[in-house]
A and B are shown apart, each in its own frame.
Chain A
Amino acid sequence: SQTIHQWPATLVQPVGSPLSLECTVEGTSNPNLYWYRQAAGRGLQLLFYSVGIGQISSEVPQNLSASRPQDRQFILSSKKLLLSDSGFYLCAWSTPLGEQYFGPGTRLTVT
């Protein structure tokens, strides 16, 4: 069966510090991968998606970037965090039919 991992679970970082969040998927090959952010009390905002190694599409201009160095690894990064980057970050993978399955999420607080 497929599983998706995200770490860390919780992160508190000062403004201006770098960020690296990692997501890995097991039990499937060549999945589509997605990074979402969910602000408190708000819906899911798609940040990036990837249909293959090295293929990244950005949905909104922002302070973040994504990379996919391996088939089942997806990384979200920032060089300098802003207060507005705080939120709940979710990684997901999708089946060929489009169902998306989510990881446990990373709660980021920028202070």
Chain B
Amino acid sequence: QKEVEQDPGPLSVPEGAIVSLNCTYSNSAFQYFMWYRQYSRKGPELLMYTYSSGNKEDGRFTAQVDKSSKYISLFIRDSQPSDSATYLCAMRRNAGNNRKLIWGLGTSLAVNP
């Protein structure tokens, strides 16, 4: 079993829809959780960063962490065609100087005008 599971999709939604992207994980030691957006042939771009459980909102994006269920989500409100990309979740433990991240495989999202 992988440490981080993420449905690869593809996920296709109409413009204006609310999008829900999810990751599950198995290691209860993970404390820091991130969401990245990656456009085709580009490097990943950090969207959201959260520590421990709870919600964090930034514009149309909301990140949610449920440590009891080992489940994280990214919600995109009023989705736009420019949101079409691959979304990667990443997480890490608190300890360790190397700050290595454990990555999901990414979910491909298409927002159709």
Contacts and interface: CB of A to CB of B under 8 A. Distances in A.
Given A46-B101, A104-B42, 7 more contacts: A34-B100, A51-B97, A88-B41, A90-B43, A99-B34, A104-B43, A105-B41
B106 A90 contact: no
B88 interface: yes
Interface residue SS majority, chain A: strand
Nearest to A59: B100
Interface of A: 32, 34, 42-44, 46, 49, 51, 57, 88, 90, 92, 94, 96-105, 107
Contacts of B49: 97, 99
Interface residues of B, number: 21
Contact of B100 (A49, A96, A97, A103): A49
Interface residue SS majority, chain B: loop
A42 B105 contact: yes
A43 B43 contact: no
Interface in B85-113: 88, 90, 92, 97-101, 103-106
6 residue pairs, one from A and one from B, having the closest CB atoms: A102-B43, A43-B105, A98-B99, A44-B103, A94-B99, A105-B43
B99 A103 contact: no
Contact of A46 (B32, B34, B88, B100): B100
A88 B86 CA distance: 15
